[in-house]
């Protein structure tokens, strides 16, 4: 295990693309189940997000429902207060998911998270939801980040 982690760190230090599973909590994925959250590049926990950089986000989940649509809703929770966060593409069906979504099928939700240079350098919790036709969460995840 340690050898494997050492190898991953080594590969990451070489500047090669490496996705890292991010520790997350589930905040009520009533229409699905999340198996993995990857942010790239992210070599620390919590992820350090550098101003002016873009990050790729890859959420692997399985759906428990059928849905024609999927809509991403992102909030930054700062001191307990959720603040809406605009992402470039809000449509999950244009973010690596082939719609309509089928029941009991696994999907990768893939999108980018741009970190604007005007964001404050703070720690916050990102809450990322993907909602189905009925506005229920295909997934709802929370993970801490640090903007630097
Ligand atoms: C997302 O993660 C899955 C599972 O690890 C992987 O197969 C897929 O290639 C990833 N997508 C991107 C865009 O990295």
Q: Where does 20-147 sit in CATH, by number? A: 2.60.40.770
**What ligand 1 atom has the least distance to the C-alpha of 58?**
1
Domain residue ranges in the chain = 20-147
The pLDDT of residue 21 is 87
The pLDDT of residue 2 is 58
Residues of 42-53 as b/e, b for ≥16 C-beta within 10 angstroms?
A: beeebbebeeee
Q: Is the CB of 58 under 6 A from ligand 1?
A: yes
Report residues of the chain scoring pLDDT below 70: 1-19
The pLDDT of residue 126 is 96
pTM tops 0.85, yes or no? yes
Distance in Å, CA 117 to ligand 1 centroid: 27
- Give the separation between CA 126 and CA 145, rounded to whole angstroms: 7
- Give the separation between CA 55 and CA 111, rounded to whole angstroms: 8
């Amino acid at each position: 295990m340690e050898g494997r982690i050492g190898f991953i760190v080594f590969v990451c230090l070489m500047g090669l693309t490496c996705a890292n599973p991010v520790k997350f909590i589930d905040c009520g994925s009533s229409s699905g189940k999340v198996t993995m959250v990857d942010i790239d590049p992210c070599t620390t926990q919590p992820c350090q997000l550098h101003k002016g950089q873009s990050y790729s986000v890859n959420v692997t989940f399985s759906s428990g429902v059928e849905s024609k649509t999927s809509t991403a809703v992102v909030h930054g929770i700062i001191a307990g207060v959720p603040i809406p966060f605009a992402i470039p593409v809000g449509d999950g069906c244009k973010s690596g998911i082939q719609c309509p979504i089928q029941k009991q099928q696994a999907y990768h939700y893939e999108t980018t998270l741009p970190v604007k240079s005007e964001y404050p350098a703070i720690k916050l919790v990102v809450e990322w939801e993907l909602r189905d036709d009925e506005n229920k969460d295909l997934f709802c995840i929370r993970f801490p980040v640090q903007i630097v």
